[in-house]
Amino acid sequence: MDAIDITVLRALHAWRQAGQAALLITVVKTWGSSPRPVGAMLALRVGAEMVGSVSGGCIEDDLFDRFKDIETTPSTTVVRYGVTAEEANRFGLPCGGTIELMVERNPCAERLEQLLEYLDGGALVRRTVDCETGDVQLTVVNKYAPLFLDDQQLAMYIGPRWRMLLIGAGVLARYLAAIAQSTGFTVTVCDPRPEHTFSWNESEVPLLRCMPDDAVTAFRPDPSSCVVTLSHDPKLDDLAIIEALQSPAFYVGAIGSRQNNEARRARLIEHFEIEKETMQRLHGPIGLFIDSKTPAEIAVSIMAEIIAIKNGVILEPAMQISVGKLKKSSLSAADLV
């Protein structure tokens, strides 16, 4: 789930707990281009305010006006925008875009509170809505599945679909964890070195003080997980990489220069018998080339690469750190001639 969804649910819970009329609006289907993905949510306090987004803005305005009076609104209803070219143009939808929304009237405050407690505890939750009565059932699950809607029920999965394990609790880990959390990742950090973890804020990001290979095993990477080593200590980074490369994690990356990464690959192949085909899964130097200098910029670079791979983007060679730096150095040398 996106980080904004938590904000949506917290606002909705506060309104309903105070007895205020409110709607939960969820994107349940899209055709063609659409501004927001399936599962995106909007909370609307009737006649007052909105939190979240289901489009670029115009649909939200129409929903605000349409549901100023919800006394006669069913417990759940489905609304569709962009069926005609005229309507798509009116609401600012991309060419050919159509969006279908599930509107829930006055969701139960107790169920919202229970959902937030589950999410705060790091659980993945299946939220099932009875399309006739609006009743909600919550079930903690171990595996994510796409949103499902038919005439009887809406079932959507809310929680930490995307997970990140960072090895090394340095300043770069702090920036990367913050950016990852803002993009919907649940982050865990591992570092057995007390001098590096003394001031770590465990209330913001959980910290494991075990050895990195044990941390990867406990983390149990799945296809929605990534493992990133940032310690600059081969004894720590190599242990995590060896374990992570055997997992289905969608991204395994290691910080370091081109020279350090080449040495690491050779070392793991020679001494730990990692096959060359497996080693191809290791990203490094990590990040996209934006000529980053500071820890914050480097974190942006790394997160950009992780998001691109998560979203199935094919990265051109020129976007890679090693290629970008080599090209820049060549251009700089040419300027001196």
Calculate mean pLDDT across residues 232-236: 92
What integer is the mean pLDDT of 228-242?
94
Task: Please identify which residue in the block is written with the tokens 């374990």.
Answer: 243
Tokens of 335: 């300027």
Pairing verdict, β 49-52 and 41-45: antiparallel
pLDDT per position as a tens digit, 296-327: 999 999 999 999 999 899 888 888 887 777 77
Task: Say yes or no to pLDDT of 258 above 70.
Answer: yes
State the Cα–Cα distance between residues 4 and 135, nearest whole angstrom: 24
Q: Give the model confidence (pLDDT) of 142-194 as tens digits.
A: 888 899 999 999 999 998 778 999 999 999 999 999 999 988 898 999 999 99
- What integer is the mean pLDDT of 11-15? 97
- With beta carbons less than 8 A apart as the criterion, state whether 125 and 119 touch: yes
pLDDT digits (tens, 9 = 90+) for 81-117: 876 666 656 666 655 578 899 999 999 999 999 999 9
Per-residue pLDDT, 90: 66
* Per-chain mean pLDDT for the chain: 89
Please check the confidence at residue 213 and state whether its pLDDT lies above 90: yes
pLDDT of 321: 81
Q: Which two tokens stand for residue 144?
A: 């994510």
* Averaged pLDDT, 256-267: 92
- Position 336 scores a pLDDT of 45
162-326 belongs to which CATH class? alpha beta
pLDDT band, residue 5 (cuts 50/70/90) = confident
Q: Residue 292 pLDDT more than 60?
A: yes
Tell me whether the omega of the peptide bond preceding residue 194 falls within 30 degrees of 0, making it cis: no
Going by pLDDT thresholds of 50, 70 and 90, the confidence category of residue 337 is: very low
pLDDT level of residue 329 (50, 70, 90 thresholds): low
- Crossing angle of helices 171-182/295-310, nearest 10°? 40
The token pair that represents 22 in the structure block:
């409110």
Residue bearing the bigger pLDDT, 57 or 88: 57
| The predicted structure's pLDDT at residue 173 | 97
Q: What is the DSSP letter of 37?
A: -
* pLDDT score, position 273: 86
Give the Cα separation of 28 and 124 in Å (integer): 19
Strands (E) in 248-299, as ranges, are 251-254, 282-283
Torsion angle in degrees (nearest 10) through CA of 220, 223, 224, 226? 70
Question: Stretch 115-134: mean pLDDT, rounded?
Answer: 92
* 89, two tokens: 């143009």
Question: Which pLDDT score is estimated for 190?
Answer: 97
User: In the chain, where are the structural domains located?
Assistant: 3-158, 162-326
Question: What tokens does 128 get?
Answer: 């099932």
CA distances from 256 to 29, 82, 188, 274, 302 (A): 42, 48, 21, 19, 12
Beta-bridge partner residues of 51: 43
Residue 85: predicted pLDDT: 61
